[in-house]
Amino acid sequence: MILILLILIPLLSGILSFAVKGEGAKALALISSMLTLAVSAYVSGANYTAPIAYSHDWIHVLGSQFSLMGDGMSSMLCLLTGIVVLVVMIVNVNKDVEKPGAFYGFLLLSQAGLMGVFLAYDALVFYMFWELALIPVYFLCSKWGGEKRIPVTFKFFIYTFVGSLMMLAGLIYLSMQTQGMSSYSWNDIVRAGSSLSPDKQVWLFCLIFIAFAIKMPIFPFHTWQPDIYEQSPTPVTIILSALMVKMGLFAILRWLLPVLPAGVAYWSDTVVILSVIGIVYASCIAIVQTDLKRLVAYSSIAHMGLMCAVAFGHSNVGMHGVMVQMFNHGINITGMWLMVSMIENRWGTRDMTKLGGMATAAPQMAIALVIISLANIALPLTNGFIGEFMLYNGLFNGSGILIMAVAGLGIILGAVYTLNMIQKAAYGQVTAMAIKKDLSMNEYLGVGIIIILILFLGVYPKPLLDLTAGIASMIVR
Amino acid sequence: MGNFSQLVYLVPLFPLIGFLINGLFWKRMPKALGGIIGSVAILASFCVALGIFFEVKSPDFHGPVIVTLFDFIQSGKLNVPFAFQVDALSSLFLLIITGIGFLIHVYSTSYMHDDEGMVKYFAYLNLFVFSMLLLVLGANYLIMFIGWEGVGLCSYLLIGFWFKDKENTDAAKKAFVMNRIGDLGFLVGMLLILFSFGTLSYQEFFGQLHNGGTIVPASTYNWIALCLFIGATGKSAQIPLYTWLPDAMAGPTPVSALIHAATMVTAGIYMIARSGALYSLAPMILHVVAIIGLATAVLAATIACRQYDIKKVLAYSTVSQLGFMFLALGTGAYTTAVFHVMTHAFFKALLFLGSGSVIHAMGGEQDIRKMGGLGKHMRITQITFLIGCLAISGIPGFSGFFSKDAILADAFSSNPVLYYLGAAAAMMTAFYMFRLYFLTFGGSFRGTEHQHHHLHESPAAMTIPLVVLAILSIVGGYVGLPEVMSEHNAIASFLAPVVTNFGEHHLSTSLEWTLMAVSVSVSVIAIIMAYTANRKPNFVPSTGIAKLLENKWYVDELYDAIIVKPINGLSNLLDKYTERRGIDGVVNGVGKTVRWGSDRLRLLQSGQVGFYIFIMVLGIVVLFSLSFFWIK
């Protein structure tokens, strides 16, 4: 029962928010996200004893139950969603947006969709929330986005929607293969899928995988991403990059790897190679970007590529690393976007060639930028290192030393573009600033939460590792 | 002795606390207090380290003590605790790091006094010591790696300490990236160990090597050893990853002394000495280590002969001395390498701090062409600097003599060619060091009148560390007396429980005396040459080989042309063509095709019923014929 609260709280406050005007919407969003975080923390905590499940009759005719599952992976991602949305709300407390009621309403609806995706234990429920999470983002970008928002948002929507439809077709096909009456429940889908002949699994894999590949995105399905990140307002960029891309990876772990083992076995080499190419390719492109948002976008593509490569590598420690890194990447990329948005706010530009002198003009900001950037390039004793060490370990065990070494180029290239960014933004002489101000109180709080998580999980990752150990070994099995 | 080894966590804890206090309250912290906090933290660590050292030294100490703090990464079979290991090797490094670290902190309180970022400086310096201590204390490779990258970060922050200058931050970036290239090697090596032996802990890993518990192909040892060595070339500035170290001199001079001479750059030597059991099983890689080390020693020494920046000379000298240490490692003489780490830490820290004192007096000037005759104005600096020069040149009686002689003797017994080249590098060392000494302190002053007026001896906070280090540079060598002089080699027997030299050959007494005499006499000849060449210096633009040396063999330019530029070019191509026109072009193309197709299809809906019926009939005919021919 408690699981459904994770969806209901943001859903209802989201709907309510449309009716609220002005500051009230912010307060509502803040309260709602705090409540959601509290519940998701409880759900995660419960996992150390036994996972919580929930089920209710839903569309009987189709054989779909409204079932939810809060196991280690789900509750970890719900917790991440709770934290990230709360941080976004905190940092935006003193920012004015047009029509706050609608803006926060859409954000909360999207959060409800995300929670649903992570919890769903029934394919139809999963699909429904998958779309529910996407649609508010479409409105958010096209209403509150940057100059080129209309064509960019359109492309993003069509691209991901095409993927979703292919996935739906695949899921419907699978449900028709279930024993007796058609069923969408996870157990039945897994049983049906894994008993299909390898040939069928191979083409079904393509159908479903494309949707997830676009969402993550992995090379070469990624070109919608830098554009939409660039054009979206920062809260939306954060939701997209910290949480929505995890939907793709999560879906692979829950709805693809266990369902179509023969299909996975057939395609995994291809996926691993594409992902590794993506790491090097995206890192190279990141080096020559001058727009901060595009730089972070490509760095995120590289990081997701590593996680995806390992997810298909059949290694226990690797899978565990994927889980851990999903969380850590979500935290770190949120921090990166916060910094980018603060820089844009202070300097009035994201063009790195026009930045400089943050360490002199706003030293607290510069310290935060350095810590978060270092976590992003996985320096030891930050959370990023734990994940990356396990990921590289997994890649080595699963795909061999050569693949690992090529992927490892990402470590070097990552240092190059990240230090370039720090040098251009933080060091040097102070350039013209629109607003000369260090961190404000609420920014301090938001960034502080991120940094504490970065350092705590970097030094003592045990809670996160314990939470996800069981489910990771279950998926690898 | 007391049970100090159980308190080992205190050693890195004090600098961490110092870092946190200075790091969190840097805004309100008075400068002097920041310096005191930073120095006291290191002094406290030094005291604990001293206790540990004597405990380890006592005959009651048996085997390494492992202190486990908590589970770090635990996943299935992978289990890496956050644990420290106390043994002879780590306790010796603890003393070097905290001891020299403390002196340099004290020196810095005066040197950095006028800098507005002084509190931040001490925070970074404490963080550095903390990381360095993790590096040598870790009981497994992962903890070493944490320290390894941690010191790299601090080095980055301190090289770019004066961040307003692009040159400094460029140097910082270069150091970090080059180190990261090495770190990738370290990471791969670590994963290879994990994969082949299922553990990262020293005790379990070396235990398995010792007992032959795990059967692995011999090439595995080579690969692991090679990967770890690649890591070492990055951190310890060896060919091909050495070019960051001379640039790293952009940082404050005490930083150069602590990080880029005495401690951090010796991490690679520590790593290989620590893994001695592994390298002894990979003789092929030992040859590689020896060759790279020797080549670096010679190359860097040649460059040092034609540099005019006082710190650059010392930087290339450091690269060269590190090369000597790798030469020792490569001949299997692990304890000799550690011995040279120690003596080098004394005299090179001394030389760097001495150069800092000179730069301080010269008001920031680093060009030795504008110095000269400084001895009259700063006697303590001059004398201590001279002691440093004598020590590094291997003059008998000074510490460098003993360690360098041991290295050359081991090289000779391994392969005489190594000895000859090594002796040549040692000769160049004596030459460039005394060239530096005579140009700086000898002759008459060549700078401006204003600078001349300003010349003064540095305050006590700076000269006392110089004196202490000078004493250490003299006496430090007597812990490792060569066989011909004494039966008892203190440092080798102290380290024996952890590492012993591999494949030790014994030279005849007469041969060893001869080698010693040869290396000493070439050094003396070099000093005389340096004196005659620089008695009346005139600085004409150099040509030919001298110009080549002055420009550091154009290695930076070469790297730029064959690595940096191509990567940037490729990235630009990928961004402009593959990404925007290629992949995104295809995506947009699909979209446009669909739109174009729908535009055409739309025309079919003309609203004329006759047309619809025509299409319908056509469709039926097609279906019928299809079913007639194919579907029977």
Same domain as B389, residue B450:
yes
Max CA distance (Å), chain A: 72
How many Å apart are CA B384 and CA B392, to the nearest integer?
Answer: 12
Same domain as B523, residue B623:
no
Residues of A in contact with B150 (CB under 8 A): 379-381
What is the secondary structure of B236-288 as a DSSP string? TT-TTS-THHHHGGGS-HHHHHIIIIISGGGHHHHHHHHTHHHHTT-HHHHHH
How many Å apart are CA A394 and CA A472, to the nearest integer?
Answer: 12
Q: Choose among A220, A317, A404: nearest Cβ to B75.
A: A317
Please give the residue of chain A at the shortest CA–CA distance from B580: A223
Sign of the Cα torsion B301, B305, B306, B309 reads positive
Helix/strand/coil (H, E, C) string of B481-531? CCCCCCCCCHHHHHHCCCCCCCCCCCCCHHHHHHHHHHHHHHHHHHHHHHH
CA B558 to chain CA centroid, Å, is 22
User: B298 near B424, Cβ under 8 Å?
Assistant: yes
Same domain as B525, residue B386:
yes
Same domain as B565, residue B526:
no
The total number of structural domains that make up chain B? 3
Q: Is residue B607 part of a domain?
A: yes
Q: Is A146's pLDDT higher than 90?
A: no
Q: A408 and B184: CB-CB below 8 Å? A: yes
Q: Choose among A320, A405, A462: nearest Cβ to B188.
A: A405
Nearest to A348 by CA among A410, A275, A432, A417: A432
Q: Is A182's pLDDT higher than 80?
A: no
DSSP SS3 for A63: coil
Same domain as B595, residue B468:
no
Mean pLDDT of the region A237-241? 92
Helices B166-197 and B141-159, packing angle to 10 deg: 170
CA A120 to chain CA centroid, Å, is 17
Sort B563 into a burial class: Cβ within 10 Å, 0-12 / 13-18 / 19+: exposed
Q: A419 and B173: CB-CB below 8 Å? A: yes
User: B36 near B106, Cβ under 8 Å?
Assistant: no
Chain A: give the shortest CA distance to residue B82, in Å: 9
User: A234 near A337, Cβ under 8 Å?
Assistant: yes
Cβ neighbours of residue A345 closer than 8 Å, sequence gap 6 or more: A434, A435
As a whole number of Å, the CA-based R_g of chain B is 31
Residue A391, both tokens: 């990921």
User: B252 near B172, Cβ under 8 Å?
Assistant: no
User: B465 near B353, Cβ under 8 Å?
Assistant: yes
Same domain as B535, residue B569:
no
Residues of B in contact with A369 (CB under 8 A): none
How many Å apart are CA B408 and CA B394, to the nearest integer?
Answer: 11
Cβ neighbours of residue B452 closer than 8 Å, sequence gap 6 or more: B445
Which of B139, B173, B193 represents a domain boundary (last residue)?
B139
Q: Choose among A155, A320, A401: nearest Cβ to B75.
A: A320
Taking the alpha carbons at both ends of chain A, their separation in whole angstroms is 29
Q: B571 and A411: CB-CB below 8 Å? A: no
Residues of B in contact with A281 (CB under 8 A): 574, 578
User: A70 near A465, Cβ under 8 Å?
Assistant: no
Q: Choose among A288, A392, A428: nearest Cβ to B187.
A: A392
How many Å apart are CA B406 and CA A186, to the nearest integer?
Answer: 70
Question: What DSSP element (H or E) covers A54?
Answer: strand A52-59
- CA distances for B400 relative to B180, B320, B347, B460, angstroms: 31, 14, 8, 26
Q: Is residue B177 part of a domain?
A: no
Overall size of chain B counted in residues: 632
**Bridge partners for A56 per DSSP:** A66
Same domain as B452, residue B368:
yes
CA B373 to chain CA centroid, Å, is 34
- CA distances for B532 relative to B308, B484, B529, angstroms: 18, 34, 5
Which of B118, B139, B160 represents a domain boundary (last residue)?
B139
How many Å apart are CA A284 and CA A379, to the nearest integer?
Answer: 20
Residues of B in contact with A472 (CB under 8 A): 75
Q: B575 and A460: CB-CB below 8 Å? A: no
Which of B122, B139, B156 represents a domain boundary (last residue)?
B139
Nearest to B247 by CA among B307, B331, B292, B295: B307
Q: Is residue B499 part of a domain?
A: yes
Q: A461 and B75: CB-CB below 8 Å? A: no
Nearest to B364 by CA among B311, B303, B315: B311
How many Å apart are CA B90 and CA A27, to the nearest integer?
Answer: 56
Same domain as B518, residue B483:
yes
Question: What DSSP element (H or E) covers A262?
Answer: helix A261-287
Chain B: give the shortest CA distance to residue A312, in Å: 18
Helices B416-441 and B379-392, packing angle to 10 deg: 170
Question: What DSSP element (H or E) covers B75?
Answer: strand B65-75
Interface with chain A: mutation pick from B16, B68, B73, highest number of A CBs within 10 Å: B73
Chain B: give the shortest CA distance to residue A285, in Å: 5
pLDDT of residue B631: 55
Same domain as B484, residue B400:
yes
Angle, CA B32 vertex, CA B27 and CA B36 arms, to 5°: 105
Residues of B in contact with A390 (CB under 8 A): 73, 75, 78
Question: What DSSP element (H or E) covers A388?
Answer: helix A383-399
Q: B149 and A401: CB-CB below 8 Å? A: no
Token look-up 């020896």 returns B290
Please give the residue of chain B at the shortest CA–CA distance from A469: B75
Please give the residue of chain B at the shortest CA–CA distance from A286: B571
Q: B164 and A429: CB-CB below 8 Å? A: yes
Q: A223 and B164: CB-CB below 8 Å? A: no
How many other C-beta atoms are found inside a 10 Å radius of the C-beta of residue B488?
10
Residues of A in contact with B575 (CB under 8 A): 284-285, 288-289
Token look-up 């320290």 returns B147
pLDDT of residue B144: 95
Q: B574 and A408: CB-CB below 8 Å? A: no
pLDDT of residue B1: 46
- CA distances for B390 relative to B342, B386, B433, B520, angstroms: 16, 6, 9, 11
Chain B: give the shortest CA distance to residue A357, in Å: 7
Interface with chain A: mutation pick from B75, B190, B220, highest number of A CBs within 10 Å: B75
Question: What DSSP element (H or E) covers A281?
Answer: helix A261-287
Q: Is residue B77 part of a domain?
A: yes
B504 lies in which domain range? 331-338+358-540
Complex ipTM: 0.93
As a whole number of Å, the CA-based R_g of chain A is 21
Q: Taking all residues of chain A, what is their mean pLDDT, rounded to a whole number? A: 90
Please give the average pLDDT of every successive group of 10 residues along chain B, which has 632 residues.
Answer: 80 94 89 92 94 89 88 89 92 93 94 89 94 94 95 93 91 93 94 91 88 77 94 93 91 91 92 92 92 95 91 94 94 91 94 93 88 87 94 91 90 90 93 93 86 87 93 88 75 83 75 88 91 81 81 86 87 85 84 84 78 84 79 52
DSSP SS3 for B547: helix
Residue A350, both tokens: 């994201």
Nearest to B433 by CA among B343, B300, B543: B300
Q: B184 and A412: CB-CB below 8 Å? A: yes
Q: What is the DSSP letter of B37?
A: H
Same domain as B595, residue B464:
no
Same domain as B485, residue B617:
no
Please give the residue of chain A at the shortest CA–CA distance from B223: A401
Q: Is residue B82 part of a domain?
A: yes
Please give the residue of chain B at the shortest CA–CA distance from A223: B584
Angle, CA B175 vertex, CA B174 and CA B177 arms, to 5°: 65
Amino acid at A11: L
Sign of the Cα torsion A74, A80, A82, A84 reads negative
Q: What is the pLDDT of residues A445-476, one digit of tens each?
A: 999 999 999 999 999 999 999 999 888 888 88
Interface with chain B: mutation pick from A221, A287, A386, highest number of B CBs within 10 Å: A287
Same domain as B609, residue B512:
no
Please give the residue of chain A at the shortest CA–CA distance from B160: A427
How many Å apart are CA A244 and CA A249, to the nearest integer?
Answer: 9
Q: Is residue B378 part of a domain?
A: yes
Angle, CA B16 vertex, CA B13 and CA B19 arms, to 5°: 155
pLDDT above 70 covers a percentage of chain A that reads: 100
